[in-house]
Structure 1
Amino acid sequence: MVTKNKKMKMMTLDQMKDKDIGKIGTVERDKYEFELRMEVLGDMIKSVRKERNLTQEQLGELIGVQKSQISKLERNTKNVTIETILKVFKALKANVRFSVEMNESEFKVA
């Protein structure tokens, strides 16, 4: 039995994303990063709701929507308005901070 020593190349997570999804700024990578952020947002809403000992139905009543809307929000935040997200976090008595970043090289004034 002959064994060969193979060196495994170590890669960072960002390098793996670059290789498998695409470099930052590509359509595929931007879509991936957006979907990941939305998934994290839904998870945060669910986590804070549970921390506050609220059911989906109770949270829905606080912001004036059905339980099913809260369920959808926790599973898929892609089709939700910022206004709804702010209502949810206000009802949960949670502070929200948004960050807006602009890429100056793409900003042009006509």
Structure 2
Amino acid sequence: MEKYKNISNFEQLLEVEHGKMGTESRVQYEENSQKFIISEMLKEARKEANMTQEQLAEKTGTKKSYISKIENGKGNIQLSTLFRLFEVGLNRKIGLTFL
């Protein structure tokens, strides 16, 4: 618990747990975090559209198993596929922010 004593914000906590930006552990953490966020956003948008994974896959030319992998944070997704799922399949716009 001593290593947490002087932590006053989330960035400091991340550095203690995963290292500074650019370290292997931190890169892996950030990648996993983004996968989780995308998976939850896709799942929520699909449910709001009252679509099954199979219906979304059919509408976007992918497979249900691929949609399932993405929604469970198990697969990597290409940017073009991400756009197709949200914009073609779910009629949602995507915006990207680079920090």
- Match for residue 97 of structure 1? 95
Q: 1:53 aligns with which of 50, 53, 74?
A: 50
Higher CA-based Rg: 1
C-alpha distance in structure 2 between counterparts of 1:85 and 1:78, whole Å: 12
Q: Does 1:79 align with 2:69?
A: no
Residue of structure 2 in register with 1:15 after alignment: 12
Deviation for aligned residue 1:78: 4.5
Amino acid at match of 1:14: E
Structure 1 Cα separation of the partners of residues 21 and 66 of structure 2: 33
TM-score with structure 2 length normalisation?
A: 0.83
CA contact (8 A) 1:45 1:89 kept: yes
Q: Report if aligned partners of 1:35, 1:78 keep a CA contact under 8 Å in 2.
A: no
1:10 CA drift (Å)? 5.8
Aligned partner of 1:106 in structure 2 is: none
State the TM-score, normalized to the length of structure 1.
0.75
Moved over 3 A (4+): none
Structure 2, gaps ≥5 residues long: none
Per the TM alignment, residue 61 of structure 1 is displaced from its structure 2 partner at its CA by 0.8
Cα separation, 2, equivalents of 1:87 and 1:80: 11
Q: Deviations over 1:29-81 (max 9, x none)?
A: 12211210111011100000001111111101101122111101111264221
Number of corresponding residues? 94
- Give % identity: 34
Higher helix share: 2
